[in-house]
C-alpha cells in the first residue's frame, strides 16, 4: 500500500467518526500530540492529529497498529475493522511468494524438453531392424559439467560418418536418457526435502517473531494512556458522556459522586469532576436517572475525594428493576448501586441493594477519569474510562 492510498483510507475513515468519537480519540492521544491539536476535536483537528502521528513515525502505511488500538479503545470497532482488513491485505501482498519451485525449474537445463521429445518419439513407428546394426559403430561424447542430470549427446558415428538424426537420438536415449531420469528425479526429491526443512525453519522463526510481537503489544496495551472499562448493565435510556461537560479537559478526573439511598437501590446518580492541576472548581455532571421515584424518607448521599486522592477501584450492582407507568408494569436492567474505592483507602457508602449482579473493575496503575453510559428513568448503563497514573497524576 503506498502512502497516498493509506491517506485516502484515513480520509474516508473520518465519515465513520462522530463528534463524540473525535473527542474521545483526541483524549486518548492527549499525551502524544501538542495541546492545541488535542483540544481541537474538529475534522481539521483530527487530520492534524494523524499528521502529528505520521511525523513522529508512530503510524505509517505499513504499521498503524497504534491507531487501530486507539479506535478499539474508544469503541469505534467498525473503523478499527476497516484498518485491520487493509493491514491484512497489505501483509498478504508483501508476503505472497511461491512456496516451492516447479519441478521443471529444479531440473537441469534441457532435461524436461529431452524427456518430452523422448516420449513423443517413442510413439513413432521406428523399425530398428531396418538399421544396418552390423555396420553401426556408436560413439558418444558426453559433457560432464555437472554430476547430475542426463549427459549431453554431441555426435553419433554410423559407418564412420558423423550423423545426427531422430533415429539415432531415440536409439541413444533408450540407453542413456532414461537411465539418468531416475538420478535426476532422486536429486529433485533431495532438493525438495531440503527446501521443506528450510521452510520449516522459516516457519518456526515466524512463529517466534509473532510471539514476541504479541508479547510486546500486550506490554504496550498495559501502558496505554487511557483504558476503557466494561459496559455494565442494559441498553435502555439515552447515551451520555461526562467528558463533554463544559470546561472538562484531559486533566480532569472523577472527584466524587452523589446518589439516592433506598433499600431497593439508587434510582439516580450524579458524578463530580475536578482538574488534577486545579482541584477547584468541581464540575457536576447531569443527574443520570430520575428523581420521580424518590420517597420522602430517601436520603441523598454525597461522597467527595480529597484534592490529592483518586478512584482506583469501583463496584457496580446491576439488577432487574420493575416500575409502573400508565397502568403497566415494565422491567429493565439498571444500575442500582455504585461504590468507589480511593487510593488513600477511603470507600463510599455500602450498596444497599445486594440481590443483583455485583461487578468489580480496576486496572493496575490507572485511576478513574470519567464515565459514559445510558440513562432514562434509571441509570441503565455505565462505563468507566481510566487514565494511567503516570499521566497527570496528583
Average pLDDT over residues 245-268: 85
Determine the average pLDDT of the residues in 16-28.
Answer: 89
Give the integer Cα–Cα distance in Å for 238 and 232: 15
Please report the pLDDT score of residue 338 as a whole number: 94
pLDDT at 131 over 80: no
- Report in angstroms the alpha-carbon separations of 309 from 273, 282, 343, 347: 12, 14, 6, 12
Mean pLDDT of 24-29: 91
Question: What's the confidence (pLDDT) of residue 262?
Answer: 66
Higher pLDDT, 379 or 90: 379
Query: Which run of H or E residues covers position 37?
Result: helix 35-38
100: pLDDT strictly greater than 60: no
Residue 104 pLDDT > 60:
no
Are residues 205 and 331 part of one domain? no
Judged against a pLDDT cut of 90, whether residue 145 lies above it is answered with no
Domain boundary among 96, 113, 147: 96
Question: Are 150 and 169 in a shared domain?
Answer: yes
Per-residue pLDDT at 4: 79
Higher pLDDT, 196 or 180: 196
- Range scoring the smallest mean pLDDT among 121-125, 214-218, 228-232: 121-125
pTM score: 0.47
Ranked by mean pLDDT, which of 123-132, 240-249, 276-285 comes out on top? 240-249
- Judge whether 393 lies within some domain: no
Question: Percentage of residues in the chain with pLDDT exceeding 70?
Answer: 70
Residue 379 belongs to some domain of the structure: yes
| 18 and 115 within one domain | no
Evaluate if residue 189 carries a pLDDT over 90.
Answer: no
For the record, the C-alpha cell of 97 comes out as 511468494
Whether residues 71 and 115 share a domain: the answer is: no
**Looking at residue 263, what is its pLDDT?**
61
CATH number for 373? 2.100.10.30
123 φ/ψ angles, rounded to the nearest 5 degrees: -80, -10
Provide the domain count of the chain: 3
Q: Mark whether 50 and 160 lie in a shared domain.
A: no
At 213, the pLDDT band (50, 70, 90 cuts) reads: confident
For residue 296, pLDDT over 80 is answered with no
Predicted confidence (pLDDT) per residue in 333-342, tens digit = 899 899 999 9
- Mean pLDDT over 290-298 rounds to 68
Can you give the pLDDT at residue 294?
Answer: 66
Tell me the residue range of the domain where 7 lies: 3-96
How much of the chain, in percent, has pLDDT values that exceed 90?
27
Does residue 154 form part of some domain? Answer: yes
Average pLDDT for residues 258-287, to the nearest whole number?
Answer: 86
Dihedral, 366, 367, 369, 372 alpha carbons, nearest 10: 80
The CATH number linked to 72 is: 1.10.533
Whether 281 and 336 map to the same domain: the answer is yes
Residue 88 and residue 176 in one domain: no
Whether the Cβ atoms of residue 37 and residue 261 lie closer than 8 Å to each other = no
Q: CB–CB of 46/67 below 8 Å?
A: no
DSSP designation for 329: E
Last residue of a domain, one of 96, 119, 138: 96
Q: Is residue 394 part of a domain?
A: no
d(CA 276, CA 121): 91
Residues 201 and 52 in one domain: no
Q: How far apart are CA 242 and CA 252, in angstroms?
A: 11
- Residues 95 and 382: their CA atoms lie apart, in Å, by 44
Most confident range, picked from 186-190, 218-222, 280-284: 280-284
Final residue of a structural domain among 202, 224, 246: 224
Query: Any idea which of 154-158, 284-288, 337-341 has the lowest mean pLDDT?
Result: 154-158
pLDDT tens per residue across span 71-86: 999 888 888 888 888 8
Q: Are 244 and 382 within one domain?
A: yes
Residue 351 lies in a domain: yes
- The pLDDT-based confidence of 114 (bands split at 50, 70, 90) is low
Residue 362 pLDDT > 90, yes or no? Answer: yes
Q: What average pLDDT does the segment 352-376 reach?
A: 89
**251 and 343 part of one domain:** yes
Can you tell me whether residue 287 is helix, strand or coil? coil
* Same domain membership, residue 173 and residue 218: yes
pLDDT of residue 134: 43
In a domain, 336, yes or no: yes
Lowest mean per-residue pLDDT among 159-163, 200-204, 230-234: 159-163
Specify whether the CB–CB gap between 47 and 33 falls below 8 A: no
Q: Within this chain, do residues 183 and 245 fall inside the same structural domain, yes or no?
A: no
- Give the per-residue pLDDT at 87: 85
pLDDT confidence of residue 126: 42
Amino acid at each position: 500500500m503506498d502512502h497516498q492510498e493509506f491517506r485516502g483510507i484515513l480520509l474516508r475513515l473520518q465519515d465513520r467518526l462522530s463528534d463524540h468519537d473525535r473527542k474521545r480519540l483526541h483524549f486518548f492521544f492527549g499525551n502524544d500530540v501538542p495541546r492545541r491539536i488535542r483540544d481541537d476535536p474538529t475534522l481539521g483537528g483530527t487530520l492534524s492529529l494523524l499528521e502529528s502521528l505520521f511525523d513522529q513515525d508512530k503510524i505509517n502505511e505499513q504499521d498503524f497498529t497504534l491507531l487501530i488500538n486507539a479506535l478499539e479503545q474508544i469503541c469505534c470497532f467498525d473503523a478499527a475493522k476497516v484498518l485491520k482488513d487493509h493491514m491484512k491485505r497489505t501483509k498478504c501482498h508483501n508476503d505472497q511468494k511461491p512456496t516451492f519451485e516447479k519441478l521443471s525449474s529444479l531440473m537441469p537445463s534441457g532435461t524436461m524438453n529431452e524427456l518430452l521429445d523422448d516420449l513423443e518419439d517413442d510413439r513413432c513407428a521406428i523399425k530398428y531392424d531396418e538399421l544396418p546394426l552390423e555396420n553401426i559403430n556408436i560413439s558418444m561424447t558426453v559433457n560432464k559439467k555437472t554430476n547430475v542430470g542426463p549427459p549431453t549427446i554431441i555426435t553419433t558415428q554410423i559407418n564412420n560418418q558423423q550423423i545426427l538424426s531422430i533415429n539415432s537420438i531415440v536409439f541413444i536415449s533408450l540407453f542413456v536418457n532414461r537411465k539418468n531420469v531416475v538420478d535426476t528425479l532422486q536429486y529433485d526429491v533431495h532438493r525438495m526435502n531440503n527446501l521443506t526443512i528450510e521452510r520449516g525453519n522459516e516457519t518456526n522463526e515466524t512463529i517466534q517473531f509473532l510471539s514476541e510481537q504479541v508479547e510486546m503489544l500486550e506490554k504496550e496495551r498495559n501502558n496505554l494512556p487511557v483504558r476503557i472499562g466494561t459496559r455494565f448493565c442494559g441498553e435502555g435510556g439515552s447515551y451520555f458522556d461526562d467528558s463533554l461537560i463544559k470546561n472538562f479537559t484531559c486533566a480532569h478526573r472523577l472527584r466524587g459522586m452523589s446518589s439516592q439511598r433506598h433499600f431497593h437501590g439508587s434510582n439516580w446518580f450524579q458524578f463530580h469532576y475536578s482538574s488534577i492541576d486545579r482541584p477547584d472548581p468541581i464540575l457536576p455532571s447531569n443527574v443520570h436517572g430520575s428523581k420521580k421515584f424518590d420517597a420522602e424518607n430517601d436520603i441523598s448521599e454525597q461522597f467527595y475525594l480529597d484534592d490529592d486522592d483518586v478512584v482506583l477501584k469501583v463496584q457496580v450492582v446491576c439488577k432487574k428493576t420493575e416500575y409502573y407507568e400508565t397502568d403497566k408494569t415494565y422491567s429493565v436492567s439498571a444500575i442500582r448501586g455504585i461504590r468507589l474505592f480511593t487510593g488513600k483507602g477511603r470507600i463510599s457508602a455500602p450498596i444497599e441493594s445486594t440481590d443483583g449482579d455485583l461487578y468489580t473493575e480496576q486496572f493496575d496503575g490507572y485511576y478513574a477519569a470519567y464515565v459514559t453510559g445510558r440513562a432514562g428513568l434509571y441509570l441503565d448503563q455505565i462505563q468507566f474510562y481510566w487514565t494511567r497514573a503516570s499521566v497527570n497524576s496528583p
